[in-house]
A = this chain, B = another copy of it.
Amino acid sequence: MKKIVIIGGGAAGAKAASKSKRLNPENHVELYTRDSEIAVSLCGLPYYIEGSVDDINKLIIRTPKDFLNMGISVFLNHNLEEIYPEQNCVLINGNHIFYDELILALGADVNIPNIENIFANNVFTLRSIASGKAIREKMFNSKSVILLGAGYIGIELAEAFIKNGLDVIIVEAKDRIASDFDEDFSKLIQDVIISKCNSKMQTFYGERAVKITVDENNNFKSLITESQKEFFADFLVLSTGASPNTGIAQKSGIKLGITGAIEVDNRMRTNIKNIFACGDCTQKYDIVTREPAYLGLGTIANKEGRVAAINATCNKEFEVFDGILSSVITRFFDYTISKTGLTFQKAMEYSKKVNLEPISATITKKDKASYMPFTNELTLKVVADKRSGEILGAQSIGCVGNVAQRINTITSALKARLTVDELLHLDLPYAPPYSSSVDPILTAAYKLKDQIKK
């Protein structure tokens, strides 16, 4: 029997708790979270705001009651204040709690940019049930909104607001939308905005926000950028990303990695004995580059929570988590945008460090046999190394067309370090309603092969 204390109730913490208990029902498992709910699907919030998820409570995947039924104690609104590694003890809400194993699933905090009046009324962040409710309520009393940041959350919220009749202004410091895709993909996403939103959505890139103006009641009035542009709207949402919550951990002697997240080994162990970390507070490792990386996503958190629990709970066996591919997918109107592994741009950066010659092939092709009704085009870009032929990454965008099918397939290829030669004979199932007889993946691989031979 062990006493396992878990700090954090997001995807990683919830998974770590349930897994720790299941592995050995004699374990005492306690979960402490600073939030007032646990196991919330944060990625569902934009769909609640949009209205396609009709009840926000559906985003609460498990309640404290569910955990109680598993024999796990959940403490809501409990703040971690300090860790005493020497004593195997944590300070939470003023109380000392001892542990045999500690699992830190501290999550991430929304990045609050350094802007004058950032804490004005009607400036929102989105990272909880309460904030989701508040934004949806505000939306119904508003005609316009500014989104500060044009990443995934920005894109998803923009669609939600447009569908609810608002005018949307996106202000982004970087030079384009979805800047972790290659530039040509940012351009394709921009084309979707133009075709779907007309003048309802305005986008401003390369604009660094510096000041918020407020009215006499400290309500948001406008956003001013470095170039002295001023944008007016009824409210503003910060879609500026999130950063690992590591303050207390670092203060207590837990080592952070170069990404600023908690450094863990492949068993999710921190530098301190009996302390594990998992989820959005931890540093990741990129399978392709073998370098540290950071990306806070529920799917990764879930896997890490499971691995941390196995390693914290079992004395003999262990489980390894080998890293991520930075795979993402998002819906934007009836388009799907997805990527896995390295973009061409990332591969070029990486090639400054290692002996790599990035090449890429971009194809646009129908998603079904050309003679079938309701075909749609998808664009697929695959990146590879000219020298070894190794596949390095892929990006895809398409209207309805099955983008997820292709990107998911390439995740396996990346995991296995398949080469172009191996990819181009992949036996993908084919029938006219599902693909063209030469799948877009194979077409891209053929194009890469041509470049390798040159």
- Chain A contacts to B: CB under 8 angstroms: 11, 41, 43-44, 47, 52-53, 58-59, 61, 287, 297-300, 302-303, 317, 320-331, 336, 338-340, 369-373, 402, 404-413, 415-418, 421-435, 437-439, 442, 453
- How many Å lie between the Cα of A428 and that of B338 in the bound state? 10
A185 smallest CB distance to B (angstroms): 14
Our pick among B53, B297, B433 for the contact of A331 (Cβ within 8 Å) is B433
- How many Å lie between the Cα of A48 and that of B294 in the bound state? 50
Q: Which residues of B contact A287 (CB under 8 A)?
A: 427
Once A329-B429, A412-B412, A416-B412 are accepted as A-B contacts, the answer to whether A59 and B371 lie under 8 Å apart by CB is yes
- How many Å lie between the Cα of A226 and that of B336 in the bound state? 53
Our pick among B41, B326, B371, B453 for the contact of A432 (Cβ within 8 Å) is B41
Our pick among B44, B317, B426, B433 for the contact of A371 (Cβ within 8 Å) is B44
- How many Å lie between the Cα of A325 and that of B409 in the bound state? 15
Our pick among B41, B52, B404, B411 for the contact of A373 (Cβ within 8 Å) is B52
Our pick among B329, B372, B415, B422 for the contact of A47 (Cβ within 8 Å) is B372
Our pick among B336, B406, B417, B418 for the contact of A434 (Cβ within 8 Å) is B336
Once A299-B438, A408-B409, A409-B408 are accepted as A-B contacts, the answer to whether A422 and B430 lie under 8 Å apart by CB is no
18 more contacts with CB within 8 A, not counting A320-B421, A410-B412, A411-B427, are A44-B369, A47-B372, A47-B432, A53-B371, A299-B427, A299-B430, A300-B427, A317-B453, A327-B427, A338-B429, A340-B429, A404-B435, A405-B408, A408-B408, A409-B409, A411-B426, A412-B418, A413-B415
A380 smallest CB distance to B (angstroms): 13
Q: Which residues of B contact A297 (CB under 8 A)?
A: 430
Our pick among B329, B336, B372, B405 for the contact of A52 (Cβ within 8 Å) is B372
Once A299-B437, A415-B418, A425-B321 are accepted as A-B contacts, the answer to whether A430 and B329 lie under 8 Å apart by CB is yes
Q: Which residues of B contact A416 (CB under 8 A)?
A: 412-413, 415-418, 422
Q: Which residues of B contact A339 (CB under 8 A)?
A: 429
The chain B residue with its CB closest to the CB of A328 is: B429
A173 smallest CB distance to B (angstroms): 24
A428–B322 CB distance below 8 A: no
A437–B331 CB distance below 8 A: no
Closest 4 CB pairs of A and B: A416-B416, A412-B412, A329-B429, A58-B371
A432–B44 CB distance below 8 A: yes
The chain B residue with its CB closest to the CB of A56 is: B371
Q: Which residues of B contact A405 (CB under 8 A)?
A: 402, 404-405, 408
Q: Which residues of B contact A427 (CB under 8 A)?
A: 287, 299-300, 323-327, 340, 411, 415
A11–B437 CB distance below 8 A: yes
Contact sample, A vs B, 8 pairs, CB 8 Å cutoff: A11-B437, A58-B371, A303-B425, A324-B427, A327-B430, A331-B433, A413-B415, A415-B418
- How many Å lie between the Cα of A308 and that of B431 in the bound state? 24
A111 smallest CB distance to B (angstroms): 21
Q: Which of A59, A61, A425 has most chain B Cβ within 10 Å?
A: A425
